Structure 1
Amino acid sequence: MTPLVSIIVPMYNVESFIEECAESLLRQTLSSIEIIFVNDGSPDRSGDIAEAYAKRDARIQVIHKPNGGLSSARNAGMKIARGTYIGFVDGDDYVAETMFQRLAEEAEKDRLDIAGCGFYKQTSQRRTYVPPQLETARVLTREDIAERLKQAHESRFIWYVWRYLYRREMLERVNLSFDEEIRFAEDSPFNLSAFFAAKRVKMLDEGLYMYRENPESLTEAPYKPLMDENLQKQYKAKTAFYENHGLTDICKEDLETYICKHQIPMLLANACASSQSSREIKTRIRHVLSYAMVQEAVRNTSWGHKKLLKGERVVLGLCKLRQPFLLKLFFERRGKPKGSAG
């Protein structure tokens, strides 16, 4: 019997968390599901633990593959998914027992291509609710979505695929998959295409997903050696998407402001977090300032832009003046910036 929902769970070094993740999926009030664990060449016992669960429940299957990154793992799961809808859960997170029933109910009732929810951000000290960044409790039509895409980065609704349920037929119609060349911040290029293709979307103001800030994950590591390369690939994917769909003129400012607010500070903070010498860090900052995405955003965004906070204006001004020493000093004193690569 064809399941209503396919849940794809990539795994890499999540041995400490995968049991809680699996148990939350097995407790789902929606029984018509299949759970696809994708062992992305994990060196720990994640794959063995998933296999043990597969022996307990026929709805579970496990894929073992060489390490290829999160995009590759998700794509491997999508290739064998049979459900009417596809959802994603990261192996170090867990979900409310009603998550997939609630999202699937809304999707079926309102003929949705995408159904989404809020989530909780969980640390060792606290849990914080993050509501959806789109209007809730009403169906957004294609015209509504086109309007929201103009501020996709400002509103951040394209961050994180795991808070959404996608109609598989819609994804297959546009041949949508994750870009396997992007191994960091891969969600937003996928979501740009998914929301552009969607005809009907609805958000629930319910915290159904539990996102764990795992200090061992790539996202939370202080220094990310692949950040520069992958953010540039992400930028090229987004600009290509805008060009292919005639959206460049109306979406350009949103992307460039986002780069100035979030990604340039991330790139500079990442450079300062490396173990290199002071001289090498300044050289690396100069290198960051030479990236096409940085130069374009810095050139086209005014220092006094109303959406920039004081610290962001300082960084932008120092970038315009090309001051690697002062940028290094700024980030060493300030520490890790808040935000995400999106």
Structure 2
Amino acid sequence: MSDSPQLSLIIAVYNGEKFLSTFFDSIKNQHLSHVELIVVNDGSTDGSADIIERYAQQFSDFTVLNQENGGVSAARNTGLAVARGQYVAFPDIDDVIYPGMYNRLLEIALQNDLDVATCNGTYIYDDGRPAKKIFPSDRLSSTGVLEGPVWLEMALRSRKFLHVTWLNIYRHDFIKEHGFRFEPGLRHQDIPWTTELLLTAKRVQYVDEALYDYLIHSASVSHTPGTDDTRMRSSRHYMKILEMLNDINRRYPEQVKRVPSCHWQIAKEGLGILHSINNIEDPAKKREITQELFDRGIWSMIWKNARGFKLRWRLGRRYFRLKKIIS
């Protein structure tokens, strides 16, 4: 096989024995001729290692990296450091990848020298709700080649854009040129990743073809009722995300002028933090996290990035409630 595969799939695995066989079979069904698989076993304690070893014999270019558990960001960074492909992708092991997905994305990426090629997907619910497109076609349709900021503004303005890595492939040299890495230990790290990446990309194309099923498990952590502690953790993760987004906006002022929705998304994610705080029941914990919101300058950041009377009115009502909590 060539020393430079067309595509590197960087696969983070943590206790994935329930999903790995189906996942690897879906990659085999892609019928990719120039692909390398980099599997990062992120400290799994179940039978994942045995399944990985079994499938390693079924691919011609398959690397296994074992490390202590550090989370998905650390695992992706480990894989990215050794990837050799012209393009890289970060599929999740518990989702379904359609047979033609990567060939289709490679087709448009190679033909048009793209920094990012992206497609649509489908939400699949395990509780019986009907499937639906991630990006509704009436909000986002297929594009030609666009500059990254143009696509980002279009996507954010649709109010249906999902900050994810798994619907995309990325030109590896572009990632290396900018030194992009995932933030270790941060949940929803895809939000700052995709924002900065699209602000700097020169050539992006989107095809409205649903080639990936995103499985929403009713029993997953993100879809089960939270506790005060999980709400506090979530609030802190999103505070960090807002700080990162704010830093990104400062680093790329000219691009952000073309993407006013970069300000909107800070205010939008900030409203999510306020919602989490409002649902904390323990008065001492609610007071602690509210004080942190002000001490870290998060409230000021949210307010400064809010645009429009309606959003500022919603935030203004919450300001007095928050001040009452810490008074």
Verify same fold: TM over 0.5.
yes
**Structure 2 unaligned residues grouped into runs of 5+:** none
Q: 1:199 to 1:296 in 2, by over 3 A?
A: closer
Tell me if structure 1 keeps the 8 A contact 2:149–2:258. Answer: no
- Distance in 2 (CA, whole Å) between partners of 1:152 and 1:288 is 32
| 1:130 aligned residue | 134
Q: Choose from 295, 299, 320 the match for 2:300.
A: 295
Tell me if structure 2 keeps the 8 A contact 1:117–1:131. Answer: no
Does 2:171 align with 1:164? no
Q: 1:51 to 1:32 in 2, by over 3 A?
A: same
How many residue pairs are counted as aligned between the two chains? 313
Structure 1 residue 204, shift from structure 2 partner: 0.8
- Distance in 2 (CA, whole Å) between partners of 1:210 and 1:189 is 23
Deviates more, 1:166-175 or 1:123-132: 123-132
Structure 1 residue 77, shift from structure 2 partner: 1.0
- Distance in 1 (CA, whole Å) between partners of 2:309 and 2:212 is 37
Does 2:279 align with 1:272? yes
- Distance in 2 (CA, whole Å) between partners of 1:26 and 1:267 is 44
1:92-103 equivalences in 2 (<5 Å): 92-103=94-105
Tell me if structure 1 keeps the 8 A contact 2:10–2:40. Answer: yes
| 1:340 aligned residue | none
Tell me if structure 2 keeps the 8 A contact 1:158–1:187. Answer: no
Q: 1:299 to 1:193 in 2, by over 3 A?
A: closer
Q: Secondary structure at the match of 1:30?
A: coil
Tell me if structure 2 keeps the 8 A contact 1:116–1:204. Answer: yes
| 2:245 aligned residue | 238
Does 2:184 align with 1:176? no
Q: Choose from 260, 265, 284 the match for 1:258.
A: 265
1:183-194 equivalences in 2 (<5 Å): 183-194=186-197
| 1:321 aligned residue | 320
Alignment RMSD, CA only? 3.0
What is the identity percentage for the equivalent residue pairs of Structure 1 and Structure 2? Answer: 28
| 2:207 aligned residue | 204
| 2:223 aligned residue | 220
Deviates more, 1:154-163 or 1:103-112: 154-163
- Distance in 1 (CA, whole Å) between partners of 2:193 and 2:303 is 25
Cα displacement string for residues 149-208 of structure 1 (whole angstroms, at most 9, x for unaligned residues):
45664446460011111011111111212122x521111211122223322111111111
- Distance in 1 (CA, whole Å) between partners of 2:321 and 2:42 is 41
- Distance in 1 (CA, whole Å) between partners of 2:193 and 2:287 is 33
Q: Secondary structure at the match of 1:231?
A: helix
| 1:58 aligned residue | 60
Tell me if structure 1 keeps the 8 A contact 2:150–2:258. Answer: no
| 1:84 aligned residue | 86
Structure 1 residue 302, shift from structure 2 partner: 6.9
Q: 1:95 to 1:252 in 2, by over 3 A?
A: closer
Tell me if structure 1 keeps the 8 A contact 2:238–2:273. Answer: no
1:4-43 equivalences in 2 (<5 Å): 4-43=6-45
Structure 1 residue 264, shift from structure 2 partner: 2.5
Structure 1 residue 289, shift from structure 2 partner: 4.7
- TM-score, normalised relative to structure 1: 0.80
Q: Choose from 106, 112, 134 the match for 1:110.
A: 112
**Structure 1 unaligned residues grouped into runs of 5+:** 327-342
Q: Secondary structure at the match of 2:107?
A: helix
Q: Give the letter for the 2:33 counterpart.
A: S
Tell me if structure 2 keeps the 8 A contact 1:259–1:294. Answer: no
Cα displacement string for residues 32-72 of structure 1 (whole angstroms, at most 9, x for unaligned residues):
21122211112222232122111232333222111111111
Tell me if structure 1 keeps the 8 A contact 2:96–2:214. Answer: yes
Q: Secondary structure at the match of 1:116?
A: strand
